Amino acid sequence: MNKYININSVLSFLVIVAIGVATIYVLSWISPKEETATAPSVEVPTNATSTPIENVSVLHLVSKPYTPTKDVLSNPDAYKSQSIRLILNGDFEKASLRIKGEVTEKGDHFLSLVYGDVGGTINAYRESQTKLNKTLTQQSGGVFTDANPIDVMLDLFNPIQLSTTRGEYEKNQQTSKLINPWQSNLLPPTHISLLVAPFNEYGIYGGAQITLDLEYSCGTGSTCKAAICPAGQLTTVCLRDAFGAYAAKDWCKRAGYTSCSF
């Protein structure tokens, strides 16, 4: 008797299991299925390399590494002799300023930029009229030391960050600004007064040797050119000799001069 009971129990168990399996199978067809897609076998580049920009011209703005004098911005004659008189003509597609150099003294150093009508300290934030915020400037890449060489590329066609000047901060309490150097000045043909001057944490110019290069390319199917005016030469004469009389007259008129000497 017990034997038959055990057989019936086993059969009942098997029937229950069979019903459960059948139910799961049916529900798997009734329930909505998740859609899937096959992932690529390779999802990251195996040997990624950047493609260099073709047809780039390089103008060396200084013949050798230089250190500005302490009075480079306080003495008009010093600024006149040490600033770069850059002239531009044609249809530029890209233009960048490459600043490289080494800090030759101990302590933190910064880079002051004058590009035509705009100026300030590169990648810096102001704390007050007389002080820079070193913490924020460090985070922004604007602090250089003898262990952290200067290597900065400024895209002149796009906004770059500068600290506000002392006068700007006094006027609006803004600590930094974004400026587009190319659009902030007369477009080519044009003349740009350019200076990059390192200074130390005490506000004294010097303490580093730097080189400057202008890297640029022309628009598709167009021509463009950059050059440097010799010291003491009239801007109109420089533009005429480099780009022709039409370019010189065009700049003279747009710059607001009533008469120009050639």
Task: Indicate the domain borders of the chain.
Answer: 57-228, 230-262
Average pLDDT, the chain: 85
pLDDT at 231: 86
Over the stretch 99-119, which tens digit does the pLDDT of each residue have?
999 999 999 999 999 999 899
Q: Where does 173-223 show beta strands of DSSP type E?
A: 176-179, 190-200, 208-218
Residue scoring higher pLDDT (22 or 172): 172
Q: What is the mean pLDDT of residues 136-165?
A: 96
Q: Give the C-alpha separation, 238 to 227, whole Å.
A: 9
Degrees, nearest 5: CA angle 254-255-259: 95
Hey, what CATH class is 57-228 in? Answer: mainly beta
Mean pLDDT in residue range 210-226: 96
Alpha-carbon distances of 145 from 68, 132, 133, 198, rounded to whole Å: 17, 16, 16, 11
Residue 48 in this model has a pLDDT that exceeds 50: no
